[in-house]
């Protein structure tokens, strides 16, 4: 009989051993599967970006933030053994919670106290044992009123609020009317190192009293805290103050005329190309392809949203910007002046002037003496000054009288005009032939200076301020007014 019992015990033990091995084997090899919605968003910073993307229904990136964060956002890794221990602890806590309450908890406390009293009987007795019991009872009461850390919450997992860490918690926006000065030290009499204009962003590095120590663009310094708005929610910060761009994630992405798959395809953009955003829609992004002069829509699924902000400008950068603005202003002024001169010196026609061969010779020699090295337009303008004076009541009414009027044409007094008159029969060079052509054209009614009566060499005219006259125009080396 004993032999049978012994054999039966061996068989039962072997069965239990095999069953435990099978159970342990299935536990190790049957593991839950994990589905990743977007493989590109795995990793340290990108684990929080996935939450950010879900919140705003966009793909967000912090690689083009105004500044990078150093915070490691990687989720903690929990080993399988730790998970088992935690599960057992939680389960035990649930069981204990159902059994221990009211009088039962008190009885357990008394039993623990008496047991402890037996163990410590050699040391503790009398009042000491009673004190330990009261402390143990107090511990049980406290654990009933406040659940232990690590126990599962009664709320279902999906109902617990998801905590989204802000990507821009350290970013502030300037709310100054125009700009706020960034100073070398946190005092109003400190040197100004830059300016943060309205709606520009800055990273807060530190705070000292009512000053922030900030970094923005190439500028680091202090500004008054009252001019920097902080604590702006990410969505408001991005949509209100952000400069949005997209980066293409697909090898090729169609740009549509309307936010519809069946809409007309305007062009194709390619991986890693970046374009400014005009508008964000639910599933589409409206972009501007400046070089191709194309505005269209791309699907949000295949792009990454990049966010930039306006930054501070340093004192040196501002000085350079002012210089460039002044240069551009001067360039535009010159363009406008050239357009005005071009318009006012366009050739127009008026009545012909009767003249004799001698008058033609005299006028041509004056033109060559005054503007022999000028273009056709410059020669034509000098000839018309003489004709305009002849038509004006302020001057004589003949070509000869106008030219030889005292104090008017310096070449008539210097001898330069006489030299040209003596050489007139030999006029054959290109410049001389151009002088004859311009003289004849002026007498035939061709006019490119309107009713202007005066001219002077440009440098001398500038010294005397003639170039500032309202109707002054510059033609090569002369100013006419």
pLDDT in tens, 297-349: 999 999 999 999 999 999 999 999 999 999 999 999 989 988 988 888 899 99
Q: Is the pLDDT of residue 41 over 60?
A: no
Domain boundary among 205, 234, 263: 234
pLDDT recorded at residue 98? 36
CA 374 to chain centre: 51
Q: What is the pLDDT of residues 234-287, one digit of tens each?
A: 989 988 999 999 999 999 999 999 999 999 999 999 999 999 999 999 999 999
pLDDT recorded at residue 167? 86
Q: Is residue 151 part of a domain?
A: no
Q: Is the pLDDT of residue 458 over 70?
A: yes
Same domain for 189 and 129: no
Same domain for 195 and 132: no
Number of domains in the chain: 4
Domain CATH number, residue 281:
2.30.30.40
**370 vs 409: CA distance, rounded Å:** 9
**74 vs 325: CA distance, rounded Å:** 48
Same domain for 408 and 306: no
Same domain for 194 and 127: no
pLDDT recorded at residue 30? 42
Q: Are strands 274-280 and 243-248 parallel, antiparallel or unpaired?
A: antiparallel
Q: Is the pLDDT of residue 150 over 90?
A: no
CA dist list (Å): 426 to 323, 365, 419? 54, 12, 12
**Residue written as token pair 């400069």:** 243
Same domain for 188 and 228: yes
The DSSP symbol for 346 reads: S
Same domain for 87 and 131: yes
Same domain for 259 and 223: no
Of 400, 390, 403, 408, whose CA–CA distance to 454 is shortest?
Answer: 408
pLDDT recorded at residue 75? 37
CA atoms within 13 Å, Cβ hemisphere of 270: 0
Same domain for 404 and 387: yes
Same domain for 183 and 124: no
Structural domain range at position 95: 82-145
Residue 348 vs residue 143, higher pLDDT: 348
pLDDT (mean) for 172-181: 96
pLDDT recorded at residue 24? 57
Q: What is the pLDDT of residues 206-246, one digit of tens each?
A: 999 999 999 999 999 999 999 999 999 998 998 899 999 99
Domain CATH number, residue 379:
1.10.10.2520
For the chain, what percent of residues have pLDDT higher than 70? 67
- Phi, psi at residue 228, to the nearest 5°? -120, 120
Q: Is residue 434 part of a domain?
A: yes
Same domain for 469 and 355: yes
Q: 357-371 and 430-443 helices cross at what angle (nearest 10)?
A: 130
Q: What is the pLDDT of residues 406-444, one digit of tens each?
A: 999 999 999 999 999 999 999 999 999 999 999 999 999
* Cβ-proximal residues to 196 (8 Å cutoff; 6+ apart), any chain: 174, 176, 179, 180, 182, 202, 214, 216, 219, 223, 227, 228, 312
Average per-residue pLDDT in the chain?
77
Q: What is the pLDDT of residues 88-108, one digit of tens each?
A: 333 343 333 333 333 333 333
* Cβ-proximal residues to 417 (8 Å cutoff; 6+ apart), any chain: 365, 366, 369, 403, 409, 411
Q: Is the pLDDT of residue 374 over 70?
A: yes
pLDDT recorded at residue 2? 54
Q: Is residue 4 part of a domain?
A: no
Domain boundary among 145, 162, 180: 145
* Cβ-proximal residues to 349 (8 Å cutoff; 6+ apart), any chain: 445, 446, 447
Q: What is the pLDDT of residues 199-215, one digit of tens each?
A: 999 999 999 999 999 99
Q: Is residue 34 part of a domain?
A: no
Q: Is residue 476 part of a domain?
A: yes
Q: Is residue 191 part of a domain?
A: yes
pLDDT recorded at residue 153? 45
pLDDT recorded at residue 61? 39
Same domain for 295 and 253: yes
Of 440, 443, 467, whose CA–CA distance to 455 is shortest?
Answer: 467
For the chain, what percent of residues have pLDDT higher than 90? 61
Q: What is the pLDDT of residues 394-413, one digit of tens each?
A: 999 999 999 999 999 999 99
Q: Is residue 372 part of a domain?
A: yes
Residue 456 vs residue 96, higher pLDDT: 456
Q: 430-443 and 376-391 helices cross at what angle (nearest 10)?
A: 30
Q: Is residue 44 part of a domain?
A: yes
* pLDDT band for position 4 (cuts 50, 70, 90): low
Same domain for 293 and 390: no
pLDDT recorded at residue 452? 95
**45 vs 210: CA distance, rounded Å:** 32
pLDDT recorded at residue 40? 37
Enumerate the β-bridge partners of residue 224.
Answer: 211
* pLDDT band for position 80 (cuts 50, 70, 90): very low
């Amino acid at each position: 009989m004993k032999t049978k019992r012994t054999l039966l015990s061996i068989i039962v033990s072997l069965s239990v051993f095999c069953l435990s091995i099978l159970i342990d084997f299935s536990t190790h090899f049957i593991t839950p599967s994990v589905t990743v919605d977007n493989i590109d968003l795995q990793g340290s910073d990108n684990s929080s970006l996935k939450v950010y993307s879900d919140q705003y229904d966009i793909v967000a990136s912090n690689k083009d933030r105004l500044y990078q964060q150093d915070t490691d956002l990687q989720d903690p890794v929990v080993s399988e053994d730790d998970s088992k221990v935690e599960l057992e602890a939680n389960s035990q806590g649930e069981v204990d919670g159902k059994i221990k309450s009211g009088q039962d908890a008190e009885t357990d406390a008394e039993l623990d106290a008496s047991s402890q009293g037996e163990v410590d009987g050699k040391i503790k007795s009398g009042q000491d044992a009673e004190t330990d019991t009261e402390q143990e009872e107090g511990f049980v009461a406290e654990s009933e009123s406040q659940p232990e850390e690590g126990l599962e919450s009664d709320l279902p997992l999906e109902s617990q609020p998801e905590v989204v860490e802000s990507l821009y918690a350290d970013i502030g926006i300037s709310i100054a009317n125009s700009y706020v000065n960034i100073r070398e030290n946190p005092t109003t009499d400190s040197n100004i190192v830059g300016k943060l204009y309205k709606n520009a962003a800055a990273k807060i590095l530190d705070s000292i009293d009512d000053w922030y120590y900030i970094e923005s663009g190439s500028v680091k310094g202090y500004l008054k805290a009252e001019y920097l708005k902080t604590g702006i929610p990410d969505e408001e910060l991005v949509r209100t103050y952000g400069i949005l761009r997209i980066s293409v994630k697909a090898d090729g992405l169609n740009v549509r005329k309307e936010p519809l798959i069946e809409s007309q395809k305007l062009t194709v953009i390619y991986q890693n190309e970046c374009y400014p955003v005009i508008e964000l829609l639910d599933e589409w992004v409206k972009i501007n392809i400046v070089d191709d002069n194309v505005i269209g829509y791309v699907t949000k699924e295949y792009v990454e949203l990049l966010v930039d902000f306006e930054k501070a400008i340093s004192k040196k950068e501002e000085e350079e910007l002012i210089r460039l603005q002044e240069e551009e202003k001067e360039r535009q002024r010159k363009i406008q002046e050239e357009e005005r001169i071009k318009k006012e010196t366009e050739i127009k026609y008026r009545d012909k002037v009767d003249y004799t061969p001698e008058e033609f010779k005299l006028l041509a020699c004056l033109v060559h003496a005054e503007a022999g090295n000028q273009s056709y337009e410059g020669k034509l303008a000098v000839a018309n000054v003489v004709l305009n004076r002849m038509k004006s009541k302020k001057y004589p009414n003949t070509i000869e009288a106008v030219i030889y009027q005292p104090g008017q044409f310096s070449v008539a007094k210097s001898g330069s005009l006489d030299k040209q008159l003596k050489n007139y029969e030999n006029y054959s060079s290109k410049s001389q032939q151009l002088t004859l052509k311009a003289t004849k054209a002026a007498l035939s009614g061709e006019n490119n200076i309107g009713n202007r009566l005066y001219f002077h060499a440009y440098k001398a005219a500038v010294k005397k301020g003639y170039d500032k006259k309202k109707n002054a125009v510059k033609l090569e080396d002369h100013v006419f007014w």
